[in-house]
Amino acid sequence: MRVNSTQVLDFSLTAYFDSNDLTYFYFSVILFLYVLIIGCNVLLIVVICVNRTLHEPMYMFLCSLFVNELYGSTGLFPFLLIQLLSDVHTISAPLCFLQIFCVCTYGAVEFSNLTIMSYDRYMAICYPLHYYTQITKTKAGVCIAAAWVTSFLLVVTTTSMSFSLQLCGNIMNRVYCNNYSVVKLACSDTTVNNIYGLIISALGLFVPVVLIIYTYMRILKVCFSGSKQTRQKAVSTCTPHLASLLNYTFGFCFDVIQSRFDMSGVPNVVRIFLSLYFLTCQPLLNPLMYGLHLSKIRSLWKKLFCTKWR
C-alpha cells in the first residue's frame, strides 16, 4: 500500500543492538563525549568573543566553525542518549525530518566554513600585505552569513522534497535519521530528488573542492619559493585547517558508504562507528586542534591559568 510520508507516524531505527549490561557504559561514554564537545567549543567561543585581540577575520571564521560544531552535535547526541536507554528505538516523523535538517545543514555549513577558511589562509600567506584590506571584518561577516543562509536554504528544499515523498515503509537501518534512507523508502518517483541531489552535489562539492585545491596549490608554490619564515608561517596556520579538512572528508565518505552501499557483511558496531564518526570526531577535533595549535589562543590560555594560580 502506498503511504504518504505525512501519514507515517514514526520511523523504526534497527541499527541499535541489545547491549545488555553495557548499556550504561555506552551511555556514559556518549555523555562524556557530548559534554567534552560542548565544553571545548563553548570555551573557545567565549575566549574569542571576550578578547579584542582575537576580533580578526580568521578567528571570526573559527567562531563560526565552533558554533556549527555545537549545532551539529546537539542535533545528534541528546537523541542518541535517549535511544540508548530506550527499549523501543523509534522516532516520530516530524522529529526525524528535523534531525535530517540539522545533520544536513551541519555538514553543509561545515564544508562552507572550511572552504572560506582555505581562501583566508591563501590570502594571508600569498598576499600578506593586502590581507587586511581584502579580508575585512565586514567581508568576513558577510561570508559567514552567506555560508549559513545558503546552506539552510538548500537543505530546506531537500528536506521538503523528501517529506513530500510517498513511502512504502518506515524502517531504517541507522541509529539516527538520514535523508537518503528516507528516499530509499519511497515508492513514488524520486527522479526530481535525484536530479536536485546531483545539482547540489555539483555546486556544493565540486566548486568548493576546486577552490580548496587551487588555494593550497598556490600556498605550496609560495612555500617552495619563499623564505624559511614564510614556510614556517604556512605550516603553522595551515596544519589545523588541513587536519580538520581531511577529518571532515573521511567522515563524509564514511557516511556516504554507510548510506549508499550494502553494509550487511560488516559488523554492526563498525557500521555504527562509521555513521557516528561524521558527527562525533569533527566537533571534538576542531576545538582541540585550533585551541592547542594557534599561538594567540595558547598565549591567552597561559595568561588565564597563570593569573588563576598566582
Nearest to 245 by CA among 117, 114, 147: 114
Burial bucket for residue 184 (CB in 10 Å: 0-12, 13-18, 19+) = middle
pTM of the model: 0.88
Contact 259, 8 (CB under 8 A): no
Burial bucket for residue 301 (CB in 10 Å: 0-12, 13-18, 19+) = middle
Summarised one tens digit per residue, pLDDT across range 57-74 is: 988 999 999 999 999 999
Contact 42, 67 (CB under 8 A): no
Strand 171-172, strand 10-13: pairing:
parallel
Residue 3: predicted pLDDT: 40
Q: Which domains, and CATH codes, for the chain?
A: 3-309 (1.20.1070.10)
Write the single-letter amino acid at 111: F
How far apart (Å, rounded) are the C-alpha atoms in residues 110 and 151?
Answer: 10
Residue 2: predicted pLDDT: 41
Query: From edge to edge, which strands make up the β-sheet containing 10-13?
Result: 90-92, 10-13, 171-172
Summarised one tens digit per residue, pLDDT across range 163-206 is: 888 888 888 888 899 888 888 888 877 888 888 877 887 777 78
Residues of the chain with pLDDT under 50: 1-6, 308-310
With the C-alpha atoms ordered 38, 39, 45, 49, is the resulting torsion angle positive or negative? positive
Nearest to 113 by CA among 46, 67, 75, 52: 67
